[in-house]
Structure 1
Amino acid sequence: MIMNAHALDETDYSEEITDQTGATPCSGKSAGRPRAADKEARQLALLQTAGRLFLEKGYSNVSLEMIAREAHVAVRTIYVKFGGKLGLLKAVIGNGRAHFFEDMQSMETDKRPMQQVLSDFSLRFLELLSQPKSNQLYRMVVGESRTSPELAETFYEAGPKRTREELARYFDRPEIRAQLRSEFSSDVLAFHLLNCVLGDGMCSLLFPQDTGMPLEVRQARVKQGLELFLHGVQQRAM
């Protein structure tokens, strides 16, 4: 259900990858194709560098040349793999999201009881949104969306929209749909669940914290939010 950092094409990092001394990573070694693990590590380093610069300087103040220089890659590499700065931002968001969901079983096939699946998802979702970097990203998007509307669209596509679509697909599973009131569409159910779990999420944006939400706080909020959600949408026993 998550976008992980994929291995790069074998030629992606063949140009201008140098360390601080100007030497290539393979200096002193025989030339050859980079291993998949090496390519994945280089892509992760690129995404981490881009994410840090976006948050430190703001999206509009960061150029691909700046990112390429700090990540020790060619600008062409970024264009080939991501299509440009917006594509790179989308990958940064996806990679950050993957960290919290990568070991969770796909909601399209998970056979656990619905409350367990939704609780697992909600705890991860709340942990992700309570991270200081997530708050920084959200505030950056809001602050720059008027002058860069494509930024807000990219953020929505990579984050909120994707989350709602994954939940909607879960609620559309026949055995799950049968447990829920038919007058609510899967899209409405997804939106309602996220709001029940998030609660007064704007407080974390207006008054950002230096650390993520403690586990016991997340557990209490998820328990209460799920009870509220299920009370309103589950089929009533006859």
Structure 2
Amino acid sequence: MSEKNASPAAGGPGRPTDEAKTEAILDAGRALMFAGRFANASMDQIADAAGVSKVTLYKRFGDKTGLTEAMIRGQAASMTAMIHAANRDAPTLRDQLRNFGVTLSAFLLSERFYHVDAMLTALRRDQPGATRRFFEAGPGTMRSELMAILGAAADREELAIDDIKLAAEDLLSLWRGFKEVELRFSARETLGSEELEAHVDHAIDVFFRAYRAQG
């Protein structure tokens, strides 16, 4: 029996989750999201793109909101893993922040993020109650990760910070900067790697002038 025609009870209760099918659904959802087609895609279309039955799709994620949250959470987890790996041997706070900023900004200042933002705008109109969960799954997670780095630096007295959350939000805002506005209006091309790194470094310089401990 094919996956498309499988009974939802196939395999019986307690059957282990088929991770390959779960990843296929997430991959299909991300492909649609980054192409700007997820918001208008039906669950049937998502299931077809993933090569699974609609029963499997609903069983794994419940509904489209659940799938959206899982995709956002997965994107944040992927970036967090990259940052942790890069920072494992980072010798200085600047190196840690640079690794974080380059990883995050490469996504935020990309065409892919433009489509994600457009999708969230559409979903916010239709499902306003779900957007808080989307925030916690994505931006909230990244803010918490940055707060942990800044908090540790403040404990080492490298930074003078009264409000860790506000400081993290300041740096995140610097990394997004006006370049995001230019990209949104197609007023500039996507940043190359050298320009992206220079943008991240400049933001860190400004941040350090505000928060670097004196003495």
TM-score (norm 1): 0.72
Counterpart code for 1:131? S
Aligned residue in 1 for 2:212: 234
Which among 195, 199, 205 is matched to residue 221 of structure 1?
199
Deviating more after overlay: 149-158 vs 161-170: 149-158
Specify whether residues 106 and 175 from structure 1 end up closer, same or farther in structure 2 by C-alpha distance, changes over 3 A only.
farther
**Conserved? CA contact 1:47–1:88, under 8 Å:** yes
Determine whether 1:91 maps to 2:77: no
Aligned residue in 1 for 2:171: 193
2:172 & 2:153 partners in 1: Cα distance?
Answer: 21
For residues 129-148 of structure 1, give each alpha carbon's deviation from its aligned partner in whole angstroms, at most 9, with x where no partner exists.
Answer: 12211111102222442332
Higher helix share: 2
Aligned residue in 2 for 1:57: 37
Counterpart code for 1:138? D
Determine whether 1:67 maps to 2:46: yes
Specify whether residues 40 and 148 from structure 1 end up closer, same or farther in structure 2 by C-alpha distance, changes over 3 A only.
same
1:75 & 1:136 partners in 2: Cα distance?
Answer: 24
TM-score (norm 2): 0.78
Specify whether residues 73 and 16 from structure 1 end up closer, same or farther in structure 2 by C-alpha distance, changes over 3 A only.
farther
2:161 & 2:49 partners in 1: Cα distance?
Answer: 53
Counterpart code for 1:17? E
1:174 & 1:166 partners in 2: Cα distance?
Answer: 13
Aligned residue in 2 for 1:32: none
Residue ranges of structure 2 left out of the alignment (5+ in a row): 7-16
For residues 51-94 of structure 1, give each alpha carbon's deviation from its aligned partner in whole angstroms, at most 9, with x where no partner exists.
Answer: 333454352x3332332233222333233332321121122223
Aligned length: 205
Shift, 1:223, TM fit: 1.2
Aligned residue in 1 for 2:12: none
Shift, 1:174, TM fit: 6.4
Aligned residue in 1 for 2:93: 114
2:72 & 2:199 partners in 1: Cα distance?
Answer: 25
**Conserved? CA contact 1:179–1:235, under 8 Å:** yes
1:216 & 1:174 partners in 2: Cα distance?
Answer: 27
